[in-house]
Amino acid sequence: MELTRYITVGQYLPRGSPLHRLDPRTKILATTALMVTLFLIPSFGGLGLLAAGLLALLVLGQIPLGYALRGLRPIAVLLLLTVFLNTFFGGGEGGRVLFQAGPLVATEEGFRRALFVGSRFILLVTAATLLTFVTSPVELTDGLEWLLRPFRRVGVPAHELAMMMSIALRFIPTLLEETEKIMKAQMARGAEFGQGSVIRRARAFVPVLVPLLISAFRRSEELALAMEARCYRGGEGRTRMKELRWRVADLVAGACVAAAAALLIGLR
């Protein structure tokens, strides 16, 4: 019943490790590079190496592995579905037939492809989670805003986007806590969750979602008011308490990631 223990995506774990101390721009760029690499890696071997690399980064960032794994739990269903669909409809033909039921045929090749896509998916989520584990929401916003700045000329509201993202991240734990509270209150009135057919389960969440939405709107109104009361009026002329500054460590980290990416893509 404690949702905050299960959903770890988007959480920040303050640790003060070398990863935490890197410039957020470095970390965002490196994560993006890793994600792109992930889609360019052609073989299982490459994925394995990247997984080992991510593992090393988790250790370096002093993130408990169990905690990082828990972050994968909410996407388990999506993951299974991905593997299932890719096995049967991924278009991988040839090889031994492993399983056949009517029009559904699973070949060895199809299954391999499905596993490949599934592993890629896991690594993708892990990389994104690692970024938020070691980067505080404020840093993340600052970094993102800086990276989006060149696009302002073509009408991208860099500051507003960054602010929206940081507020969203900030409210994940709050809304989870709220959900938990509302669920308990409805359980006290005899509501049951996670029982019966899919439709029944979905319907059981109406008494949770309605109050949750109402409270989210109320919170957003209060937050907007509190920001206005402190003279917030967008990014124009806004200065920051912590200026972003590139350091040697960022250069080294960037170079390492670039080299690793090139190596992994090149590797057959």
Partner 1 sequence: MEAAALDGVTLEIRTGEIVAIIGPTGSGKSTLIQHFNGLLRPTAGEVRIAGCDLWGPRADRRRARQQIGLVFQFPEYQLFEDTVRKDVAFGPRNLGLPADEIASRVEEALRQAGLDPERFGDRSPFTLSGGEMRRVALAGVLAMKPRALVLDEPTAGLDPRGKEELLDRIAALHRGGMTLVFVTHSMDEAAQLARRVVVMHSGRVMADGSPREIFAREDALRGIGLALPQAARLVRLLRSRGMPVGDALTIAQARAAIMAAVREMRRGAH
Binding footprint of partner 1 on the chain (CB under 8 A): 1, 181-182, 184-192, 206-207, 210-211, 214-215
C-beta pairs of 113-117 under 8 Å, 24+ apart in sequence: 113/86, 113/87, 114/82, 114/83, 114/84, 114/85, 114/86, 114/87, 114/90, 115/83, 116/44, 116/47, 117/82, 117/83, 117/86, 117/90
Q: How far is the CB of 168 from partner 1 (least distance, A)?
A: 21
Closest CA to 30 of 265, 266, 259, 208: 259
Q: How far is the CB of 126 from partner 1 (least distance, A)?
A: 24
Of the pair 66, 190, the CB lying nearest partner 1 is at 190
Of the pair 112, 181, the CB lying nearest partner 1 is at 181
How far is Cα 209 from Cα 104, in angstroms, rounded to an integer?
37
Of the pair 213, 227, the CB lying nearest partner 1 is at 213
Q: How far is the CB of 189 from partner 1 (least distance, A)?
A: 4
Q: How far is the CB of 209 from partner 1 (least distance, A)?
A: 8
Of the pair 152, 203, the CB lying nearest partner 1 is at 203
How far is Cα 73 from Cα 260, in angstroms, rounded to an integer?
28
Closest CA to 147 of 17, 36, 29, 253: 29
Q: How far is the CB of 1 from partner 1 (least distance, A)?
A: 7
Amino acid at 73: R
Of the pair 1, 76, the CB lying nearest partner 1 is at 1
